[in-house]
Amino acid sequence: MLDVLTRPAVLAPALLVAGYVLYQLLRPSRLPQLPIIGAKPGEWFPLTRARWRNAKDMKTAVEVAYSQYRDQACIMPIAGAADHVMLPPRELQWLVDQPDLDISMHDQIMYTLQLDHTLTDPELGRNPVHVSLVSGLLTRETGNLVPELIDEIEHVVDELWGLDGSFRTICVYDTLKRIIGQATNRVFVGLPLCRDAALLEAGMAFAQDVPLTSTVLRFIWPPMRPFVAPLLTLPNRIHTNQFYKIMRPEVLRRLADYDARQRTGTDATGAEKKALPSNDFLQWSVNQAHASGDPYMSKPDTLAGRILLLNFASIHTSSFAITHAILDLASSRQEYIDELRDEITTVLAEHGGEWNKRALAAMPKLDSVFRESQRVNSFVTLASIRSVVKPEGVTTPSGLKIPKGLMVCAPSYPVFHDPELYPDPHVFKPFRFAEKRIVPAEANANGDAPSSSYVQRARQAFASTSPEYTAFGHGRHACPGRFFASSELKLMLAYLVTNYDFEIQERRAENLWFGMNRIPPMAANIRIRRRG
């Protein structure tokens, strides 16, 4: 036995691992002197032990931080993630207002998702030009895309939830993930690609690979990561290649069409085209690439890669949101579902039975269901995680100095569940925010109703963010896809609620905590039936 242990092939890696563990335990901390959440007084290696305690029970960790340190910063260590400096809630606005050169969201994303290793082409992560298309064109075009979205939703829901008038059991997350994937890709790449099962599968698999492999990589000593990553991220590359292979012919066709139009005003087949080119994300990306004049941007794999990254950013987040909303409604009261249906059918009839932006905006209860469901279930437990990048560090409004390289955040889960902000915080009250939109009679009597009531209503909308509502983050880096997501999810829920009955459940299946994220119960089933 001793013989084996002294062999260089065994001894060298063993010494390396032991050295790394010792280094982790004994290295001097650059953290400011603050209370450490999860540490016990007088214990050895408090930071290391707190990291594991918090990773195992993040709910308790964030609740303790909020109840004991509401007015001061503290350290939130989490195994496999950075040690976060958690600011008090009143400093969240300051945090999101800091310039990117001082406190960076981008650096945080590169680190957390280990994009230098988890992407086949890390340049896509380093230069995420697609984000400006999401906040700009996609948001502006969402209204025009409503007919296509509803067409795709009808198509895929009818196929997956069926037309059968008798009750049957479905797995909520599995079916809704596919429905979201297909509807979202209708807007990303159009027909027929959005219905390509292999493309959707590859996109969804990649969206699982990145968080999994980045979590494992963060546990590995940074100098070792480049050596371990190629093996660990093999699934990422397999799924990326599958996605690119299916996308390539369509991307090449779009590029050829673009060139032909520029030269002759006809498309690649030579046909005079009166119709505009496709109005989807791929087309906008082709236009953006040509406008940049950078040949890298117009490479087929660069364009396919941007669509893959968007699948990553949007599919899980939106599938979680619709899964939560359905589980919440199906375990609430039949009266709520009836009231929601009533709003949808009445407003839709007022708009001539046609779905459009104005009809959606006139359904405050539908909007409120999502805002409330995300308040109760949001996957965001720590808000606005950012990395300090200013060489000399930053100083918070309360005078705390935070050195370069540390992660900063603010609480989210306990704020969403604070009874002073949201009475009965653990109860799903689907119309909580719709009720807040109703302008009190005194405001009308004062004569200040029109503008203030508009602002008051807008603040209660699903896509509105604030330090008290961070399901989409907050500030200028809040989720750029939230206006699109809000419309897509509302169209989907409206279709599901008006076309299906749900068997009311006695208990809602519980959410799961996965490190610092909360996820819906993915195996939960409900019983549904097509309405006559």
Residue closer to ligand HEM by CB (options 78, 310) is: 310
Residue closer to ligand HEM by CB (options 128, 425) is: 128
Helix intervals (H) in 40-114? 46-56, 58-68, 92-97, 105-112
What's the rounded Cα separation, in Å, for the pair 179 and 152?
9
Cβ count within 10 A of residue 387:
20
Residue closer to ligand HEM by CB (options 127, 505) is: 127
Residue closer to ligand HEM by CB (options 36, 493) is: 493
**What is the nearest approach in angstroms of ligand HEM to the Cβ of residue 479?**
3
**What is the nearest approach in angstroms of ligand HEM to the Cβ of residue 187?**
8
Indicate if the alpha-carbon torsion angle 19, 21, 24, 25 is positive or negative.
negative
**What is the nearest approach in angstroms of ligand HEM to the Cβ of residue 386?**
8
Binding site for ligand HEM (CB under 6 A): 105, 109, 128, 131, 134, 138, 310, 313-314, 317-318, 321, 380, 384, 471-473, 477-481, 484-485
**What is the nearest approach in angstroms of ligand HEM to the Cβ of residue 240?**
18
C-alpha distances out from residue 471 to 371, 375, 381, 387, 415, Å: 9, 7, 9, 20, 11
> For residues 440-465, b (16+ Cβ closer than 10 Å) or e, as one string?
eeeeeeeeebeeebeebbeebbbbbb
CA-wise closest residue to 504 among 386, 338, 340, 330: 330
**What is the nearest approach in angstroms of ligand HEM to the Cβ of residue 166?**
32
Residue 175 tokens, joined: 């079916």
Residue 473 region by backbone torsions, left for phi larger than 0, else alpha for psi between -120 and 50, else beta: left
CA-wise closest residue to 385 among 30, 36, 33, 84: 84
**What is the nearest approach in angstroms of ligand HEM to the Cβ of residue 356?**
20
171 annotated as ligand-binding: no
Residue 355 tokens, joined: 């779905």
Which residues lie across from 502 on neighbouring strands? 528
**What is the nearest approach in angstroms of ligand HEM to the Cβ of residue 135?**
8
Main-chain phi, psi angles of 186, to 5 degrees: -60, -35
**What is the nearest approach in angstroms of ligand HEM to the Cβ of residue 207?**
12
Residue closer to ligand HEM by CB (options 36, 318) is: 318
Residue 285 region by backbone torsions, left for phi larger than 0, else alpha for psi between -120 and 50, else beta: alpha
C-alpha distances out from residue 128 to 142, 317, 442, Å: 21, 19, 48
**What is the nearest approach in angstroms of ligand HEM to the Cβ of residue 80?**
19
Residue closer to ligand HEM by CB (options 153, 478) is: 478
Residue 94 burial (C-beta neighbours within 10 Å; 0-12, 13-18, 19+): middle
**What is the nearest approach in angstroms of ligand HEM to the Cβ of residue 105?**
6
Indicate if the alpha-carbon torsion angle 379, 57, 80, 234 is positive or negative.
negative
Find all residues with CB under 8 Å of 486, minimum gap 6, and list them. Answer: 367, 370, 461, 462, 463
Main-chain phi, psi angles of 170, to 5 degrees: -130, 155
CB 104 within 8 A of CB 386: yes
What's the rounded Cα separation, in Å, for the pair 43 and 402?
25
Binding site for heme: residue ranges?
A: 479
Binding site: residue ranges?
A: 479
